[in-house]
Structure 1
Amino acid sequence: MLPRIFVVVLDGLTAMHPSPRIDRLYLAGTLVATSLLTACAVGPDFTRPTPPTATRYSPESRPDHAAPTMAGDAPSQTLRIGDRISAQWWEQFRSPDLDRLVRRSFQANPTIDAAVASLRQARYNTTAQEGFFFPTIQASYAPSRTKLSGNTGGNSPGIQGNGSVISTVSNTPASQGGTAPFNEAVIYNWHSATLTVGYVPDVFGANRRLVESLQAQSEFQGYQLEAAYLTLASNVVAAAIQEASTRDQIRTVQALIDSSERALKVLREQFRLGYAMRIDVAAQELALAQAQQSLPPLEKQLEQTRDLIRVLAGTTPDQDLNEHFTMASLTLPAELPLSLPSELVSQRPDILSAEAQLHAASAQVGVAIAARIPQFSINSTLGGNASEFSQMFWPSGKLFSLTGNVAQTLFDGGTLKARQRAAEEGLNQAQAMYRSTVLTAFQNVADTLHAIHADAHTHAAAERAVTAARVSFELTEQQYRLGYVSYLTLLTAEQNYQQARLSLIQAQASRLGDSVALFQALGGGWWNRGREQRAEAAPK
């Protein structure tokens, strides 16, 4: 169908200029043919990459990545293939403080604001490019006052529609008895108003490919926003785990220092009385110094972690937060979802971002091809001019023009061909980067699964070590009360117990961190956000 704007232009032209020189049927046929030509778009049509054929994240046939992770005395975790990943996956740690902190970070962290702005910018750029599908209409009005030199003669406007004449004057020359200058200048007002319509038909789809590329860039920014949410949530939860681990380690080290100080006090007294050697005192002094040496780094780490949490929450380091974390305030998720490799490619924001960039690169090939074939344009102008404003659109003042143009580059030193080749290589690069992103994502999940299993066994061993150290300490304490062992032996058993607790805290933190890493590696469940919000809003 002929665009409405051209129908309006043609109506105006025939109404203003009922002349046989304007063949309305010819113009209409030309524009219809041009519109039909816009049905094609050169360049490759994008198709989504084929999902990988991998069915597991390990070459072994054992089902250890899907079977329950039994960790002996430690809490067990079960990996469930195909389970839905919650968009609020951090709630699996059952910490109200953590939930509040993540929500606050989403609202206040500037990286989210930057990602949202980037997405809006990409969408506006797409909308701007879509405007080239339509004609450009411009209106102008230019009043002027001009003094035309008498020497320019015939360049004056001449007879106006009201019968007046604007022209330079040729008087009688002095040689023939005249007294005035031979040529007299003329001063006049001039009003000109025009309506210009320009249209570049998208004959070979260059603009459609540009819009396609920009739409892909918008999708890329949308996935980058989801990646920003996922990364921010993962960083917040990881920082909370780090704080909890550090706090518990500080308490354990302080208990160890207290125990070492008591042991040193006993040894020094025994040395004074001649019941201990100086080498024993020195050994205990070394143990105390080593315990004291380990405390400042932990205190520094705690303060720096708190600084990190404040910044993640969008506040400055001088503003404290009410949320504080210990290992007891965080619960290890009992069940962890595990997506199949074929599902992973449609979940992870980085893979989808790489796919969007691949789509954009494919469209740019079409843009480069379209630049090498004929370019079409149509321009029309309606308007009028006169020496009086009210007379611009009298029949004598009306003007119009209609121009079509076809341009084809015949020689450019190979520039356009090289740009097409560059676009094709850009597509090859995007394809390689997509494959690399997919492989890295699979490795990320595989590494996390290995860590989950290994750290579960480490946790179980740490639990057994703590149990053995606690039993040894309790038995030593009973023997001390009965007088069978010295107080120094009791303090040594207590120190061994505290050292075992330090290892256990670190093992617990590692397992919590592995859970966070798996949720992040699987994409974080952002695609379920809308469904979960609808479920929460449904009447109970």
Structure 2
Amino acid sequence: MARARGLVMEKVTDMKQHNKKVLCVWSAAAVLASLLAGCAVGPDYRAPDASSAPASFKEAAPEGWKSASPADSELKGEWWRMYGDPVLNDLEARVVSGNQTVAQYVASFEKAAALVSEYEASLYPAVNAGASGSRSRQSGRTGNSVSLTASLSWELDLWGKLRRQVTEEKALAQAAEADLANAALSAQASLARNYFTLRSLDERIALYEETIRAYESNVRVLQNKYRSGAVVKSDLTQAEQSLYSARSSKASLEAERAQYEHAIAVLTGRAPAEFSLPASASALPAVPAVPAGVPSRLLERRPDIASAERSMAAANEEIGIAIAGYYPDLTLTGETGYSGSRLSHFVNAPHFLWSLGASAAAPLFDAGKTSSRVRQAKADYEKSVASYRETVLEAFQGVEDYLAAARLLEREIEQSERGLQAAAETARVKSSQYAEGMIDYTDVYTSETTRLSSQQSLISLKADALVNSVRLIEALGGGWEGLGKARER
């Protein structure tokens, strides 16, 4: 028994020595790979400098800025809370979880993140294991064959191609994440715009309902007067015309409101038949005050700009990957295992197998294919640079447009309010004059139509100002928290 135990220990010792030899060879290969890992061909990416951004917005004239501070305590991602509307807050909370466009971008980001893991795995050796067994008879003899093997393959990243592929995929994943944020911001802004337009329609419909009740009362009075011969028939028909016109306009607004309600349902991920938004008697909220800010902050806030910058970084890595095509690829391979006719042979050193190898493939002549790929990669990079610059310019254009619109809408609303006051006073005077028999009903009809039109226009202008403020928030990347502080620093 002691002799058998000693024989087994001797064989195990032999196997350990073989394993040490294999381990030493692979360790040497790993050291060589690590020494060469610092060699990466191609240009290193440098993030664009935002210092060339204009010092101030052209449309942000001193009288265009408001000194009041917005809700600084609100997170950038919850910019809609600045409007102070609980119903809007509840609807916005459903967008990210229910909107199907956002869900598509979520899936795209998850795929991009998985690709990063896949490419990171290429930096490490691939190990496979195998087992086989057979029983055969030949020349009157029956024999068994059993083997266990483990193989390893490792492509050394001598020229940084694999690392650049990983970096590229990380940049693309970051771009996908920015695209997701941009999709969420776009959906949230669309919902807010639709919501404020719908609420303005509620106000306009309520105004028509009030006007219709007054017109109905007026028609009843004129009908009695016409029967008694106190007024001519044209007075009655004009009053009836005003009533029918108001009813028609109200029906048109109700149809428009239904369309906005359906749009809000889809934005929150629900079927229009399953969604209802009751009319609100509350007035439209005030437009949030816009603090002063610096344009360069845009580059840190807008997700579409972040996506364009990350796409540019990915395109830069493609140049290095293409240049690596000029250099040879080196792959190390190894295999170890046991082979024998019985399981007992697996602890027998003579049945221990191993092999090591290396292969290199270097391009000698490819008729300019590699150089063409390099030129393509460089052209794609220049295209991404131009796309990035265009995205930045369009971002500044959008802010300039909405700042100008905000300033002009404020003035337009102010003048419209004065016009409404004048129209209301005119309607009051004309009504008194008609009651005293001084004028025809035509003048009353005209003045009332003007007053109603002025009221409707004022509500629409206030809704336009709210919608424009949402567009400005979207152009600023989702709110303006911190922009005022940037200028103070």
Shorter-chain TM-score bucket reads 0.7 to 0.9
Return the alpha-carbon distance in structure 2 between the equivalents of residues 84 and 360 of structure 1. 36
Conservation of the 8 A alpha-carbon contact between 1:271 and 1:281: no
Conservation of the 8 A alpha-carbon contact between 1:263 and 1:488: no
| 2:172 aligned partner | 217
Conservation of the 8 A alpha-carbon contact between 2:211 and 2:246: yes
Return the alpha-carbon distance in structure 2 between the equivalents of residues 426 and 145 of structure 1. 59
Higher helix share: 2
Return the alpha-carbon distance in structure 2 between the equivalents of residues 472 and 493 of structure 1. 6
5 Å matches for 1:43-192? 43-51=42-50, 52-58=52-58, 65-69=60-64, 78=67, 86-87=75-76, 88-146=78-136, 169=139, 187-192=142-147
Match of 1:16 among 15, 18, 23: 18
Match of 1:494 among 439, 442, 448: 448
Matched residue type, 1:391: H
| 2:187 aligned partner | 232
TM-score, structure 1 length as denominator?
Answer: 0.77
Return the alpha-carbon distance in structure 1 between the equivalents of residues 155 and 307 of structure 2. 32
Conservation of the 8 A alpha-carbon contact between 1:216 and 1:356: yes
Give the CA RMSD over aligned residues: 3.3
1:196–1:13 CA distance, 2 compared to 1 (3 A): farther
Residue correspondences, number? 466
Q: Look up the SS of the partner of 1:41 in the other structure.
A: coil
Q: Is 1:194–2:189 an aligned residue pair? A: no
Q: Give the Å deviation of 1:209.
A: 0.4
Return the alpha-carbon distance in structure 1 between the equivalents of residues 107 and 309 of structure 2. 21
Conservation of the 8 A alpha-carbon contact between 1:466 and 1:497: yes
Conservation of the 8 A alpha-carbon contact between 2:202 and 2:279: no
Q: How big is each residue's C-alpha offset from its partner over 1:142-201, in whole Å with a ceiling of 9 and x where there is no partner?
A: 122345xxxxxxxxxxxxxxxxxxxx54xxxxxxxxxxxxxx6x5533212111111111
Conservation of the 8 A alpha-carbon contact between 1:98 and 1:237: yes
Match of 1:340 among 268, 287, 294: 294
| 2:33 aligned partner | 34
| 2:368 aligned partner | 414
5 Å matches for 1:373-388? 373-388=327-342
Return the alpha-carbon distance in structure 1 between the equivalents of residues 473 and 266 of structure 2. 23
Return the alpha-carbon distance in structure 2 between the equivalents of residues 192 and 26 of structure 1. 23
Matched residue type, 1:65: A
Q: Look up the SS of the partner of 2:156 in the other structure.
A: coil
Return the alpha-carbon distance in structure 1 between the equivalents of residues 69 and 370 of structure 2. 54
Matched residue type, 2:467: G
Matched residue type, 1:228: A
Return the alpha-carbon distance in structure 2 between the equivalents of residues 27 and 274 of structure 1. 113
1:26–1:223 CA distance, 2 compared to 1 (3 A): closer
| 1:472 aligned partner | 426
| 2:272 aligned partner | 317
TM-score, structure 2 length as denominator?
Answer: 0.85
Return the alpha-carbon distance in structure 2 between the equivalents of residues 24 and 197 of structure 1. 12
Q: Look up the SS of the partner of 2:272 in the other structure.
A: coil
Match of 2:355 among 387, 390, 401: 401
Structure 2 residues without counterparts, runs of 5 or longer: 1-12, 483-489
Return the alpha-carbon distance in structure 2 between the equivalents of residues 290 and 483 of structure 1. 25
Conservation of the 8 A alpha-carbon contact between 2:95 and 2:184: no
Return the alpha-carbon distance in structure 1 between the equivalents of residues 352 and 165 of structure 2. 39
Q: Greater shift after overlay, 241-250 or 351-360?
A: 241-250
Return the alpha-carbon distance in structure 1 between the equivalents of residues 385 and 256 of structure 2. 42
| 1:155 aligned partner | none
1:477–1:276 CA distance, 2 compared to 1 (3 A): closer
- 4+ residue runs over 6 A deviation: 11-14, 22-27, 261-265, 280-286
Return the alpha-carbon distance in structure 2 between the equivalents of residues 385 and 69 of structure 1. 85
Return the alpha-carbon distance in structure 2 between the equivalents of residues 513 and 462 of structure 1. 18
1:443–1:12 CA distance, 2 compared to 1 (3 A): farther
Matched residue type, 2:422: A
1:460–1:98 CA distance, 2 compared to 1 (3 A): same
Return the alpha-carbon distance in structure 1 between the equivalents of residues 443 and 212 of structure 2. 16
Q: Which has the larger radius of gyration?
A: 1
| 1:151 aligned partner | none
Conservation of the 8 A alpha-carbon contact between 1:139 and 1:195: yes
1:525–1:451 CA distance, 2 compared to 1 (3 A): closer
Q: Look up the SS of the partner of 2:273 in the other structure.
A: coil
Q: How big is each residue's C-alpha offset from its partner over 1:428-448, in whole Å with a ceiling of 9 and x where there is no partner?
A: 110010011011111100110
Q: How big is each residue's C-alpha offset from its partner over 1:274-324, in whole Å with a ceiling of 9 and x where there is no partner?
A: 96586x887777666654543333222111111111222222212234665
Matched residue type, 1:15: Q
Return the alpha-carbon distance in structure 2 between the equivalents of residues 368 and 408 of structure 1. 14
1:106–1:453 CA distance, 2 compared to 1 (3 A): same
Q: Look up the SS of the partner of 2:350 in the other structure.
A: coil
Q: Look up the SS of the partner of 1:336 in the other structure.
A: coil
Q: Look up the SS of the partner of 2:128 in the other structure.
A: strand
Q: How big is each residue's C-alpha offset from its partner over 1:314-341, in whole Å with a ceiling of 9 and x where there is no partner?
A: 22212234665456152322x1134322
Return the alpha-carbon distance in structure 2 between the equivalents of residues 366 and 13 of structure 1. 44
Q: Greater shift after overlay, 436-445 or 363-372?
A: 363-372
Return the alpha-carbon distance in structure 2 between the equivalents of residues 433 and 441 of structure 1. 12
5 Å matches for 1:224-303? 224-256=179-211, 266=222, 276=232, 290-303=245-258
Return the alpha-carbon distance in structure 1 between the equivalents of residues 87 and 365 of structure 2. 68
Matched residue type, 1:209: R
Matched residue type, 2:49: T
Q: Give the Å deviation of 1:35.
A: 2.2
Could you tell me the percent identity over the aligned residues? 28
Return the alpha-carbon distance in structure 1 between the equivalents of residues 213 and 446 of structure 2. 12
